[in-house]
Amino acid sequence: MRIAEHLLAIADRVSPPTVVHAHCDLPCGVYDPAQARIEAESVKATMEKANASDDETFKVRAVIIKEERAELVKHHLWVLWTDYFKPEHLERFPDLHDKFWKATKTAGEAKKTNDVAVGERLLAEIAEIDAMFWESKK
């Protein structure tokens, strides 16, 4: 073991490293609702494929994938909502919190159903957030 590695090992014992979680390893300032939209498109497409299939194994796999993607929609929306948008945005967009709340609730609803209308509603709600996001960049 090299001296630097040995010193780091000792330092970790004295003061264990703190584990933190973020949407990336560096606060990069790069945000875009496209991440949520892409996952929502996957949710809707997976619903459509599951509904069109007679293969029970395929349907089970589709539901699992759809639920994972819906959870990712929620994650990407939460990151955008909590990390990007600031109080001055709320002044400019008074319904900002309501739109995010509804979209994350719809993503949760999408986990429980294969109703394509829910997937379409999720995409429409994300489109509204997308419009506010890009307007906030002006």
Residue 8 resides in a domain: no
Decide which of 105 and 15 is more confident: 105
Residue 22 resides in a domain: no
Q: Is the pLDDT of residue 10 over 70?
A: no
**Residue 39 and residue 9 in contact, taking contact as beta carbons nearer than 8 Å:** no
Q: Which of 5-9, 121-125, 130-134 has the lowest mean pLDDT?
A: 5-9
Residue-range definition of the domain harbouring residue 58: 28-136
Residue 5 resides in a domain: no
Q: Which residues contact 9 (CB under 8 A, 6 or more apart)?
A: 1
Q: How far apart are CA 112 and CA 45, in angstroms?
A: 15
**Residue 53 and residue 59 in contact, taking contact as beta carbons nearer than 8 Å:** yes
Go through the chain and tell me how many residues it has: 138
- Tens of pLDDT, residue by residue over 71-118, are 999 999 999 999 899 999 999 999 999 999 999 999 999 999 999 999
Residue 114 resides in a domain: yes
Here the CATH number for the domain that contains residue 98 is 1.20.120.400
Alpha-helical runs (H) found in the chain:
3-14, 34-52, 56-79, 87-92, 96-110, 116-136
Residue 19 resides in a domain: no
Residue 7 resides in a domain: no
What is the pTM assigned to this prediction? 0.80
Residue 3 resides in a domain: no
- Which of 135, 125, 133, 122 lies closest to 30 in space, CA to CA? 133
Q: Which of 10-14, 16-20, 32-36 has the lowest mean pLDDT?
A: 16-20
pLDDT category of residue 34 using cuts at 50, 70 and 90:
very high
Residue 16 resides in a domain: no
The predicted pLDDT at position 25 comes to: 53
The predicted pLDDT at position 1 comes to: 56
Q: Which residues contact 61 (CB under 8 A, 6 or more apart)?
A: none
Q: How many domains does the chain have?
A: 1
Structure tokens at 134: 């890009």
Q: How far apart are CA 73 and CA 78, in angstroms?
A: 9
